[in-house]
Amino acid sequence: MPRVNRTTVLTLLIITSSVFLLFQLHYYRKYVSKQGPYILSRTGHLTQTVKKFLGLARHFGLPLFLADTAALTLLSQDSLRQRDRLVHEPHCSFLCTGRPVTSFALHANLWKYEPGFLLAAKQKGFELLELRGQDPRLASLDNLSGEEIPLHFLFRLHGHIIQVVFLYERSGNYLWHGELRLKAHVDRSFAPFKLLDYGRHPGSYDRPELVLTVVDGIDVRIPRNISRFLSEQRQARFLECRYRDARNFLQLYPDDVSPDAVDFRRKVKSLLHLAGRTLAQLDIPFWLSSGTCLGWFRQCSVISYSRDVDIGIFIGDFRSDIVSAFRSAGLSLKHKFGKVEDSLELSFLSEDVKLDIFFFYGDGDVVWNGGTQAKSGKKFK
């Protein structure tokens, strides 16, 4: 009796596990493999669409690079790239990300807007949505109305979207892209707008160094340091200064335009550039703090009677080589208040302008920083 039971149980087990295995196989073929990089019915279309688009872009001289976060993430994995080199038949390891969108960035200052390009794309079967917005480079305290410029192109073919993000150079030596804002008449079903990598907010970037490479059989430029580009992308949200409010403020309290004040503002800006470059070398994020932040927020400028530059850094980002890095950049340490465990503040001097670095400490839901009055030694929190 126990023997029979054992056989029955074994048979039952074999049957159920076979059924389960068949089910898994079915599920895999039906759902999972559709996303997979090596299935040709899908990859065929996608690589063809991208290839067709890039062919046109090359013909019309568009300075593009691949900016798609999903594809770049795959490209940043060395093991995946090594494995990819061994595959010789047509395949799609990087562009087939399972997302219905591929995004490219366009260096807009290097391209003269060419309507012929859009016409040619339409003739090749692409549908197009062009999104425009105000040019912030012309907006200023004196003139709030910028001209409209192209900010994003969306091309659609076989249900796949190619997004082209226009990156414009702005004074201060960085690249900027605008928000993707849908006007009232725009077809909201044109693209899965929520899935786009770019356009939820305006963004700003350092100019990335690019390299030409072959991705899934297609020649395309990509950022040389992909991980740097991706980490920049995650925190690239750009905040425009509020020129309208600033203008209202300055009408009530006009800026000091004496030569001293003008000179001070120039020094502050160059000191901020220097601090930004020095901290970037150390990979330390910082922000404008105290009076410097107030000046930007209130009047899009530097408060001329503030006499120093204030920036903030999280204490978690403190590195002991900050002082030597600033010294190499030509700034001398003037004061050090507090200590790393409590209320640290470093004060550097450049010409006659002081750079105050306040370190910020987390405490539950709040962050705080300390301050010390140089003359009296009094501490504040």
Ligand X SMILES: *[C@@H]1O[C@H](CO)[C@@H](O)[C@H](O)[C@H]1NC(C)=O
- Residues in contact with ligand X by CB under 6 A are 138, 143, 145, 147, 225, 227-228, 283
Backbone angles phi, psi at 109, to 5 degrees: -70, -15
Residue 213 CB, nearest distance to ligand X (Å)?
Answer: 15
Q: CA 171 from chain center: how many Å?
A: 18
Residue 145 CB, nearest distance to ligand X (Å)?
Answer: 5
Residue 223 CB, nearest distance to ligand X (Å)?
Answer: 9
Residue 142 CB, nearest distance to ligand X (Å)?
Answer: 6
- Helix and strand counts by DSSP (H, E) for the chain: 11, 17
Residue 243 CB, nearest distance to ligand X (Å)?
Answer: 12
Backbone angles phi, psi at 346, to 5 degrees: -115, 135
Q: Which residues pair with 237 in a beta bridge?
A: 203
User: Would you list the DSSP string of 159-179?
Assistant: TEEEEEEEEEEETTTEEEE--
Please identify, using beta-carbon distances, which residue of 283 and 351 lies nearer to ligand X.
283
Tokens standing for 144? 């709030």
Please identify, using beta-carbon distances, which residue of 145 and 173 lies nearer to ligand X.
145
How far, in Å, CA of 272 to CA of 62, rounded?
Answer: 34
**What residue ranges in the chain does DSSP mark as E strands?**
64-66, 101-107, 127-134, 148-157, 160-170, 174-177, 203-205, 210-215, 218-223, 287-288, 308-314, 332-339, 342-350, 353-363, 366-369, 371-372, 379-380
Please identify, using beta-carbon distances, which residue of 122 and 224 lies nearer to ligand X.
224
* DSSP percent split of the chain into helix, strand, coil, nearest 5: 40, 25, 35
Counted residue by residue, the chain has a size of 381
Please identify, using beta-carbon distances, which residue of 319 and 336 lies nearer to ligand X.
319
Please identify, using beta-carbon distances, which residue of 5 and 173 lies nearer to ligand X.
173
Please identify, using beta-carbon distances, which residue of 129 and 141 lies nearer to ligand X.
141
Residue 54 CB, nearest distance to ligand X (Å)?
Answer: 26
Residue 133 CB, nearest distance to ligand X (Å)?
Answer: 14
Please identify, using beta-carbon distances, which residue of 182 and 211 lies nearer to ligand X.
211
Residue 21 class from Cβ within 10 Å (0-12 exposed, 13-18 middle, 19+ buried)? exposed
